[in-house]
Structure 1
Amino acid sequence: MQDFPAPIRVLLVDDDPDLATITATYLQREDDQFTVETAIGAEAALERLDDGIDCVVSDYEMPEKNGIDCVVSDYEMPEKNGIELLEAVRETYPDLPFILYTGRGSEEIASDAISAGVTDYLQKERGSGQYAVLANRIENAVEAYRSETLLTRRTRRLERLISNLPGMVYRCRNEPEWPMEAVEGEVAAMTGYDAESLEHGDVQWGSDVIHPGDREETWARVQDSLDERGRFELSYRIRTRDGETRWMWERGRGVYDDDGDLTRIEGFITDVTERERRESRLQESSARLEALFEQSPDMINLHDADGTIAEPNARLCEKTGYDREELIGMKVWEIDCSIDSASAAEVWDQMEPGDSRRLESEYERADGSTFPVEVNIRRIDTADEALFAVISRDVSERKERERRLERFASIVSHDLRNPLNVAQGRVDLAAEECDSEHLDHVADAHERMNALIDSLLSLAQEGDLATDLERIDLADAVERAWSSVPTDDAHLQLAVTGSVSADRSRLAQLFENLFRNSVEHGGSDVTITVGDLDDGFYVADDGPGIPGNHRDSVFETGYTTSDGTGFGLAIVEQVAEAHDWAVELTESDDGGVRFEFSGVDEG
């Protein structure tokens, strides 16, 4: 007996229960792969098939369904004989193996059975030898049925696959030109050539379709793979009929003759041009991102939710003194000495994907020294895990500058203002005791010194400019600034609308300094106009203006053409720069000065 991958399930139909039991017993002895069910009479067999059977053996025949591989039926039975049973089975199960196994043999019965579609016909004989013959007939019938069913299913699947594949299947001779013998699928859509041109040899895949630059390498790679594994897989370029270059992906295998010689190959080819372009773009993008990552002037690292550093850049290695291999696997708090695992986890747990945090911290170098840093953390989850990108910047120079400014401000506010207050007090006392015009000049000088100290302190606040941005109504800000400045008989024309994103106190400082400048230089009756620009606003007056050769100097610290401090316009420029605004000095329509502020975030 030949082995089958699954048991052979037989439905044995007979009107004699004893004979059915004996036959089932002998069949199962012949091969342990046989599983035999018995049905007494045709109606019982049909009921069993309706419950589920795949093959019947009977005097007539039965259907394939739910577990029966073959029906074996007797012929002479009450109600329905074997042929009538076969006809009933064929209505529902046209291909189920059905063997007529009868003690009454005749040419007429055999002819009727063949006409009804019987799979095999066998006469009952004396002795146990007949069961070996029956078992062999059942096995042959089931094997043929299974093979045919499998082939039919495979053919149908292949046909469906070919009709739905975004590509082509082929069979060709294994020669450098790869002449096609059979081609099916989206040949024209992929190449511009129809299948007939390839099959008739008018167009050769190897010499006419494959890109000239890839022909030799493609041939060599296919042959090497066939020699090694009998199959191959690769990508290469083709030129379509219209001259367009496209990318193909191909998988194939060798076809061998009876002597084991490779004669042909068959396989599948699909267009992967878009995938190749996408991968190329991704590679280029990845290369750019890698370059930005490695060449960034900032320190960058990626770490997981446990704080383990996965990827540091070169700048982080340089600034901390660790090698890349040393940093990978370290915890972030081993270099960030201002946090520990608990405080770091508290920050990370509060962050949703895409959230960012900004904070100031301190990093520790490999030699134990530290330096201040400004840290930006962003959560960037992947499909597998939560990751955190940390971008840090060494702010040592800024901190040192702030310390120097703080010391400078301390000197200005304390060491200069205290003696000045004493001098002012002495002048007031002297004025009570005597009347001298010189005292008035001394008092004016003291006021000028106080103005200079205030301006110097404002300049010392450079690092604190524009830190609190909010939406501010421009007209309201202008009017408030105007009311804070001694303007004598000066006149304000308000032609500005809308709002800006700005630091309220710094914006007021800007307008106040511009108004003071116009009054100081334009006279007590000057007219000052504040109006709109397409991307900002302007402040203009009708004073005497500033000569063209002086306009480049007006923003320099200490520059003045009157009794002013020379710091007002320098402060204006700093406030503008702190907001990322551009400021330009021009001549107004009335011949005075006009300050234009552009690049303003307007509302």
Structure 2
Amino acid sequence: MEPITDSIRVLYVDDEPEFAEMAATFLGREDDRFDVEIVSSGTEGSARLADESFDCVISDYDMPGQNGIEFLETVRDDHPDLPFILHTGKGSEEVASDAISAGVTDYIQKSGSADQYALLANRILNAVEAHRSRRIAAERTRRLETLISNLPGMVYRCRNEPGWPMETVRGEVEDLTGHSAGAIEGDDGVVWGEDILHPDDREEMWATVQAELSAGDTFEVTYRIVTEDGETRWMWERGRGVYADDGELDALKGFITDITERKQREQELAESESRYRTLAENFPNGGVFYVDRDFRYQIVSGSGFDPLDTDPDDIVGRSVSEVERFPEELIETIEAVHEATLAGASERVEVPYEDRVFEIRTAPVREDGDVVAGLHIARDITERREREEELQRQNERLEKFARVVSHDLRNPLNVVEGRLELARAECDSDQLLEAEQALERGQALVDDLLSLAREGKVVTETEPVPLKEVVEGCWAGVETGDATLNVDADRTVVADRGRLKQLLENLIRNAIDHVGPEVTVEVGRLADGFYVADDGPGIAAADREAVFESAYSTVPDNTGFGLAIVGEIADAHGWDVTVTESAAGGARFEITGVRFAA
């Protein structure tokens, strides 16, 4: 019993107030925790019990109107467990029998001795302590039953034997195992360690539990069971030993819950992580980072770390802020990228690291629609950035050159053209005709020089372009005479449409200029590009590299820039262009490295 530390409220019912007051005084002397209130009848007593709470009732038996037994019966209707002591001067077996039948807690006869109050005080204390203990125990039992009924699993007590025979089981027993609680309890029913525990886990379970109990009072294990319908499920169990007074291990008690879904998810995540680990270990020219939902690197690998003084093992298991070699400004950028990726976004950022520049592309890793991790791929783009900067400088020089050509050459040529017009008005001479032809050649040179300068730029905007459609459009826009076109190139290329058009027009013009108006031009497919071929005399092997040089031409009065422009446009796209012999013995220009649209 738990000791009483606070006051004990006692309702004393007696039709003799003087005796009741004396009894209250003696009780107060015996224990100062007693707080006694006196009423003179059972009716008054019932009214006080209805208004306030008391720990014990003491009542006389022989009272007018309602005797002590009748008052007791009234009290028991509303307060079945309240301690009730009958303190009466009328002692008889009949009264005692009736009192016991009515549910009296104790029975004491009045006497003239002061010792009776010490006995009465002791009986009150015992009754109140027992009542409070029962109430506390009942509340604890209620709370425990509520807890068990709401637990996602079962609680148990079993003997510490290899079969783990269950003495008691409560909770979601049937949901977990398919067996009822009654079928598992006792020695004659289903035995946990023999009929439910998975055969492959029995020996390991026994060894693990015994080892953990030897090291301490508790154990924690994960294992499989086989349900009544043959399904295998994963369980998590936490328990402790129950020891006898002599210190011997008597039994086990604990809690078991189903973790099958968690185990399946862990397996899926492990398989997913394994796939990404394979990617990371074999990723060329970059690094792969696999970041969990706690922003910690789980996988860090790839050849991108080779030029850096950073060991991937120094990053695994840490968050960005915990990596010592990462500067503060880089940490802020990467943390923002992590957060966006784990929120479901794909990101692309460029970050400087020491003397290099990295491009980081990210993608959320999803399992069953939920983002479980982030995949970050980092590439060293330092050399690419340097090339782009050099190309930018080159483009600026070309732009400057184009402005000079356009302004400083066109103006004098325009003046010459005007003067020729004036001279023709005054006289007619073959010399003027020769001058006019030379002027036209000069203007064509200026146009081709400007085109060549502009085509040297990097292509930044591309789109899916139907190759056959563009070829046929170019053929219609060029003076082809009686020439023939055969197209077998029904592919969609990713290119700058306008510059692809100029490349094809220049190749078509080149075929007509070098072969003649009756040439047959064929455009066909290659595995990674396309070709433009003719049935002319072809180009000698020794001259095939020179044809792409500026001002190279075998046709009189040709500027020689047409194929140079073809080469520049191909380079701007990242393509390769070569010349070889066609099936008909003519020239065949092959453009490779082309990306096709899906």
| 1:198-597 superposed matches below 5 A | 199-201=186-188, 203-257=190-244, 259-282=246-269, 285=272, 297=286, 321=309, 324=314, 328=322, 334=328, 362-363=352-353, 365=354, 370-372=355-357, 394-415=380-401, 418=404, 429=416, 432=420, 434-437=431-434, 440=437, 443-444=440-441, 447=444, 450-451=447-448, 453-462=450-459, 464-465=460-461, 544-546=521-523, 552=529, 554=531, 564-565=562-563, 567=565, 571=569
Deviation, 1:88, is 1.7
Query: Within 1, Cα distance between the matches of 2:162 and 2:114?
Result: 63
In structure 2, relative to structure 1, the CA distance for the partners of 1:4 and 1:452 (3 Å cut) is farther
| 1:14-53 superposed matches below 5 A | 14-53=14-53
What secondary structure, in the 3-state scheme, does the structure 1 residue paired with 2:112 have?
coil
1:75 is aligned to 2:69 = no
Query: Within 1, Cα distance between the matches of 2:451 and 2:346?
Result: 38
Deviation, 1:422, is 5.8
- On the 8 A contact 1:455/1:565 being kept in 2, the answer is no
Query: Within 1, Cα distance between the matches of 2:306 and 2:26?
Result: 86
Moved more, 172-181 or 326-335: 326-335
Which residue identity does 1:221 align to in structure 2?
T
Query: Within 1, Cα distance between the matches of 2:254 and 2:7?
Result: 34
In structure 2, relative to structure 1, the CA distance for the partners of 1:353 and 1:176 (3 Å cut) is closer
Which residue identity does 1:212 align to in structure 2?
P
What secondary structure, in the 3-state scheme, does the structure 2 residue paired with 1:435 have?
helix
What secondary structure, in the 3-state scheme, does the structure 2 residue paired with 1:178 have?
coil
Deviation, 1:419, is 6.2
Aligned to 2:13: 13
- On the 8 A contact 2:61/2:86 being kept in 1, the answer is yes
- On the 8 A contact 1:198/1:205 being kept in 2, the answer is no
1:102 is aligned to 2:88 = yes
> How big is each residue's C-alpha offset from its partner over 1:520-579, in whole Å with a ceiling of 9 and x where there is no partner?
8799xxxxxxxxxxxxxxxxxxx95425689955499988999844646984896799xx
Deviation, 1:96, is 1.6
What secondary structure, in the 3-state scheme, does the structure 2 residue paired with 1:144 have?
helix
Query: Within 2, Cα distance between the matches of 1:319 and 1:301?
Result: 21
Query: Within 2, Cα distance between the matches of 1:292 and 1:28?
Result: 85
In structure 2, relative to structure 1, the CA distance for the partners of 1:224 and 1:439 (3 Å cut) is same
- On the 8 A contact 1:465/1:575 being kept in 2, the answer is no
Deviation, 1:157, is 4.8
- On the 8 A contact 2:154/2:256 being kept in 1, the answer is yes
Query: Within 2, Cα distance between the matches of 1:115 and 1:561?
Result: 134
Aligned to 2:118: 132
- On the 8 A contact 2:452/2:568 being kept in 1, the answer is no
> How big is each residue's C-alpha offset from its partner over 1:412-439, in whole Å with a ceiling of 9 and x where there is no partner?
3445774687666666639837425486
Structure ID, larger Rg: 2
- On the 8 A contact 1:309/1:329 being kept in 2, the answer is no
Deviation, 1:91, is 1.2
Q: Structure 1 vs Structure 2: percent identity of aligned residues?
A: 39
Which residue identity does 1:465 align to in structure 2?
E
Which residue identity does 1:435 align to in structure 2?
L
In structure 2, relative to structure 1, the CA distance for the partners of 1:12 and 1:282 (3 Å cut) is farther
1:144 is aligned to 2:130 = yes
Deviation, 1:133, is 1.0
Aligned to 1:532: none
Deviation, 1:131, is 1.8
Deviation, 1:401, is 1.0
Deviation, 1:317, is 7.9
Query: Within 2, Cα distance between the matches of 1:211 and 1:570?
Result: 72
- On the 8 A contact 1:424/1:443 being kept in 2, the answer is no
Query: Within 1, Cα distance between the matches of 2:126 and 2:77?
Result: 23
Deviation, 1:19, is 3.9
Aligned to 1:591: none
In structure 2, relative to structure 1, the CA distance for the partners of 1:488 and 1:134 (3 Å cut) is farther
Query: Within 1, Cα distance between the matches of 2:265 and 2:298?
Result: 25
Deviation, 1:116, is 1.9
Query: Within 2, Cα distance between the matches of 1:51 and 1:409?
Result: 99
Q: 1:113 aligns with which of 96, 99, 108?
A: 99
Which residue identity does 1:47 align to in structure 2?
A
Moved more, 172-181 or 430-439: 430-439
> How big is each residue's C-alpha offset from its partner over 1:464-494, in whole Å with a ceiling of 9 and x where there is no partner?
335xx9xx9x99xx99xx99x967899xxxx
Query: Within 2, Cα distance between the matches of 1:171 and 1:547?
Result: 82
In structure 2, relative to structure 1, the CA distance for the partners of 1:546 and 1:487 (3 Å cut) is closer
- On the 8 A contact 1:293/1:300 being kept in 2, the answer is yes
Query: Within 1, Cα distance between the matches of 2:336 and 2:242?
Result: 64
Deviation, 1:192, is 4.5
- On the 8 A contact 1:309/1:332 being kept in 2, the answer is no
Count the aligned residue pairs: 507
1:91 is aligned to 2:87 = no
- On the 8 A contact 1:487/1:516 being kept in 2, the answer is no
Which residue identity does 1:450 align to in structure 2?
D
Deviation, 1:115, is 2.4
In structure 2, relative to structure 1, the CA distance for the partners of 1:130 and 1:250 (3 Å cut) is same
> How big is each residue's C-alpha offset from its partner over 1:276-301, in whole Å with a ceiling of 9 and x where there is no partner?
22344445556767888899825979
What secondary structure, in the 3-state scheme, does the structure 2 residue paired with 1:460 have?
coil
- On the 8 A contact 2:409/2:446 being kept in 1, the answer is no
Query: Within 1, Cα distance between the matches of 2:166 and 2:337?
Result: 65
Query: Within 2, Cα distance between the matches of 1:264 and 1:292?
Result: 51
What secondary structure, in the 3-state scheme, does the structure 2 residue paired with 1:249 have?
strand
Which residue identity does 1:412 align to in structure 2?
L
Moved more, 201-210 or 158-167: 158-167
TM-score by length of 1: 0.64
Aligned to 2:516: none
- On the 8 A contact 1:233/1:250 being kept in 2, the answer is yes
What secondary structure, in the 3-state scheme, does the structure 2 residue paired with 1:398 have?
helix
Query: Within 1, Cα distance between the matches of 2:30 and 2:554?
Result: 123
Which residue identity does 1:272 align to in structure 2?
I
- What CA RMSD, in Å, does the superposition of the two structures yield over aligned residues? 5.8
- On the 8 A contact 1:355/1:378 being kept in 2, the answer is yes
Deviation, 1:154, is 4.6
- On the 8 A contact 1:173/1:180 being kept in 2, the answer is yes
Query: Within 2, Cα distance between the matches of 1:561 and 1:190?
Result: 90
- On the 8 A contact 1:231/1:253 being kept in 2, the answer is yes
Deviation, 1:262, is 2.7
TM-score by length of 2: 0.64
Name structure 2 gaps, 5 residues minimum: 365-373, 424-430, 482-493, 514-519, 533-543, 576-593
- On the 8 A contact 2:348/2:361 being kept in 1, the answer is yes
